[in-house]
Structures are given as C-alpha cells and as structure tokens.
Chain A
Amino acid sequence: MLKEIDMVVPKSVDEALHILSEKKDKAQPLAGGTNIVLELQNGSDKELLVELGMLKELTGIKREGDMIILGGATKLADVLKDELVARFGVPLHEAAAKFATPMIRNLATAGGNLVDASPAADTAPPLLALGAVMELRSIKQTRFVPINEFFVGVNKTLRQPDELLISIRWQIPSKKSAGGFEKIGLRKGMVCSIISTSIQVEIDDLQKVSCSRIGLGAVAPRPIRSYQAEDYLIGKILTEAVIMEAGRLASESSRPIDDIRGSADYRRKMSDVLVRRLLKRIASNLAG
C-alpha cells in the first residue's frame, strides 16, 4: 500500500501555487506520477499531493517567436509526437523516443522527470544541450533559471517548495545546427541509462563550431555540461581529431561513481565513446 496521504485537485495554476505557498515542503506536486507513486511506496515525508495533470496551462508545446515553450506537465508521449520538438528540439525528440516504454510515456511528464532530478534523468541532457531555461513560479514571482544551474545535487534542484515548474523553453537552434541523444543501458528496452549524452552544435559559414552544448547524464551527482569540451570545440571544424579530443575532454569532466549498474571507470570511458559517436553523427548531419 502507498503511504497515507491527502490529495487536492486545484482547478488552476494559481490555486495550486496558493496551496504550495501554504504547505511548502509538505506538498508534493503530482503530474504523471511515475516517480511519485514509487516514493509513496518507499517512505515519502510528504503530506499532500497536489494534482496538476488536468491544468491546461501546464501542458502543451508552442512556439513564441524564436522560443519553443514546453509545458511542465506535458506527457513524454506528446513530446515525442510533437512537430515542433521534432524540428527544433532534436535532442529532446531522440531522448523521448528512448524514454522508458510507450505506456510509461503516456504518463510520465518532462517536468516530472526534471524536478525529480535523478542523475540519470533522460530529459536532462537534451535540455542541457538545447540550453533550456526553466520557468519557476510561486505566488510571489516568476523566475527563469537556466537549466545548467537548475540541478544542484542528487534529486535536488533550485525549485523551492512553493514553486512549480511551469514550463521549459529553449531558443530555436540556427539553421546550421544539429543535435542528438545517445544512451547506454544494460539492456535495449525499458532501461535506466548507465550513461547518456546529448549534444547540440551550431556551425558558422566556414563550418567552424560557433556554439556547442554537451550534456552528460549518470556520470555525476547531477546532469552536467562538459564545458571544457565545449570551449575546446569553439572555432574548430569537426574533424576526426577534433572529435576525439572533445570526447577525451568530456570524459575528464565526468565524475561518475561505481554502482550496481556500472563502474565509474566504465562510465568515464563511455562518456568519451558516446560523445565522440554523437559528434560524428552530428558532423555527418551538418555536412549532408
């Protein structure tokens, strides 16, 4: 049986925020529930579930100017089907395709995956690669936090107990850019990542990298960016040698641990391999 807990179904985001401001860290916002239900089995200290799944304002994907705005309670299945994400958020599209299983995708939400902040959360590296910004709102204010500041530790984010993750937004990449997502698991279906990576690269008219973002999952207490590798890539053409060095640098930026799924050494080595592979694929997309 799940822990005994109360539940409230607010009719608006505003109502939800009022409840959170009152109940603070005793409140548990609930969208898909695929993480929360497990926590309720294993000893959550929350006292009130705040159901968000019905709130229209929190679901859906739209374009506003040059931004794509993804509602925090949007189901992963809808993320996967979405045209805007397929065109302008390829890293996230690829991650959604590999996310859990079709049935879980019909429940799990992007926001839920992000605020749960598992080091292996599969929506994190792609949104890091897209340079996304999180919209956090309380009854006091709305603030925008860049995703690379959002994760602070294992299952810990900058979200305050009285805030909701309203949306995640990113700027539409330039035409001369490409991205993707890769993961390794101990089996091919329905699997937690041992390590994942997601990259978005933009090049200029001379084929030189003008911007790159490399996200890594499951190699540190939180999803991270490989700034060393990214800095290295600026101004370079994606040759085999450059890609190799970028992979090596990415692997150096990882801080993995041993656990039952894999050793730290393996994860470190695989950061290199996956980043190289993904950069190679991206280079080929940019050329072709």
Chain B
Amino acid sequence: MEQKLINLIVNKRKHQVAFYPNITLLQALRKLGYMDVKNGCEQGDCGACGVILNGKAVNSCMVLIWQADGSEIITNAGLGNMEKPHPIQEAFADAGAAQCGYCTPGMIISAKALLDEKPHPTEDEIREAISGNLCRCTGYGHIIKAVQDAAEKIAAGGAI
C-alpha cells in the first residue's frame, strides 16, 4: 500500500499531505488538527462527522481521503470562531441548542447546507435536513429553533 500526496483546502487553508488509500476524510481531517470534526460512530449512522465537501454536506467518515484529493472542505470551526461566530453558531449558543455539544459541529454543517439552499425553511424541512444528525441531549427542539433564528438573522443581513 503506497501513500499519495493529497491536496486539500480546509477552512481556506492549503494542505499537502501524504495519506494511504485506507484513510477516511474524517481521520485525515482530525490528523491535520481539525478536531471539531467528531467521530461518533465512523459508520455513517450519526452525522457527527459532517463537513462540507465541495459545497455538499457529507459524512466525512464515509469518504476516502483519496476521493477528496483536490477538494475544498469546510468544517464547523471554519464558519466562525469565538470572537466572530457565524450567525448559525451564535443562534445555537443563544437558543440552548448545544448541550453536550458533541453533535453540534455536524448539526451546524447540515443547518448551513440547508440555509444555503433554502433560506426560509419550514420546520418540516429543517427536520428533514438534520435527520441524519443524531442528538441524544436536546430532543431537537432548541436545535430547530436555532436554525429558524439563524435563518432570520441571515435574511436580515447578518451573514456570510
């Protein structure tokens, strides 16, 4: 098994790192230090590893790193930080949508993908968009509210 030099742009930062073919995007991202991308099951069943890959929200545990060669990836930490949070992140913080917080990065990625496509989603559309992100703490109520609040904020011009 041979390594290949893989090119990635993660959260606008360029990486060129050698990886074996049997490494997943989740493993690669965490190896590169993107610890906000979480391992909840590594089997595509929980969504905690969600990232945006070339504009689409995906379970990074289901992607082989060689398949992502040349790709642009956004993780939750790339959307904002504590000083300048993304409106979705801020909405999550204010609505109580993060309790233990472990599902939160993947959840926000799904929310971002939804709002990029549907800026004014119905509750049903939000539930569908996050149906692949398991949360064991919140019962999804505050998460749905956070997405609705974020949609309003972004529509009112608070956004990226």
Chain A 105-129 interface 0/1 with B at a Cβ cutoff of 8 Å (1 = within):
0110000000000000000000000
Chain B interface size range: 35 or more
Q: Which of B30-38, B39-47, B145-153 binds A?
A: B39-47
Tell me which residues from 16 to 70 in chain B have a Cβ below 8 Å from any Cβ of chain A.
20-24, 42-45, 47, 50, 53, 56-59, 61-64, 66-67, 69
Contact A5-B43, Cβ < 8 Å, known A103-B59, A103-B132 = no
Q: Indicate if B104 sits at the interface (CB-CB under 8 A).
A: no
The answer to whether B132 touches A3, judged by C-beta atoms less than 8 angstroms apart, is: no
Contact A106-B56, Cβ < 8 Å, known A37-B64, A190-B131 = yes
Nearest first, the 4 A-B pairs at minimum CB distance are: A101-B132, A7-B21, A189-B131, A2-B22
Nearest-neighbor residue (CB-CB) of B49 within chain A: A103
A100 cross-chain contacts in B, Cβ below 8 A: 132
The answer to whether B64 touches A6, judged by C-beta atoms less than 8 angstroms apart, is: no
Contact A107-B21, Cβ < 8 Å, known A101-B131, A102-B131, A190-B45 = no
A103 cross-chain contacts in B, Cβ below 8 A: 47, 50, 57-59, 110, 132-133
Q: Indicate if A51 sits at the interface (CB-CB under 8 A).
A: yes
The answer to whether A77 touches B56, judged by C-beta atoms less than 8 angstroms apart, is: yes
Q: Indicate if A139 sits at the interface (CB-CB under 8 A).
A: no
A49 to B61, CA, bound (A): 17
A38 cross-chain contacts in B, Cβ below 8 A: 43-44
Q: Indicate if A160 sits at the interface (CB-CB under 8 A).
A: no
The answer to whether B64 touches A49, judged by C-beta atoms less than 8 angstroms apart, is: yes
Nearest-neighbor residue (CB-CB) of B42 within chain A: A41
Spell out B's residues near A (CB within 8 Å): 1-2, 20-24, 42-45, 47, 50, 53, 56-59, 61-64, 66-67, 69, 110, 113-114, 127-129, 131-134
Kindly identify which residue among B23, B43, B47, B63 contacts A33, using a CB–CB cutoff of 8 Å: B63
Contact A107-B1, Cβ < 8 Å, known A9-B66, A37-B64, A51-B67 = no
Nearest-neighbor residue (CB-CB) of B23 within chain A: A2
B56 cross-chain contacts in A, Cβ below 8 A: 77, 106
CB distance from A218 to the nearest CB of B (A): 18
CB distance from A53 to the nearest CB of B (A): 6
Nearest-neighbor residue (CB-CB) of A36 within chain B: B64
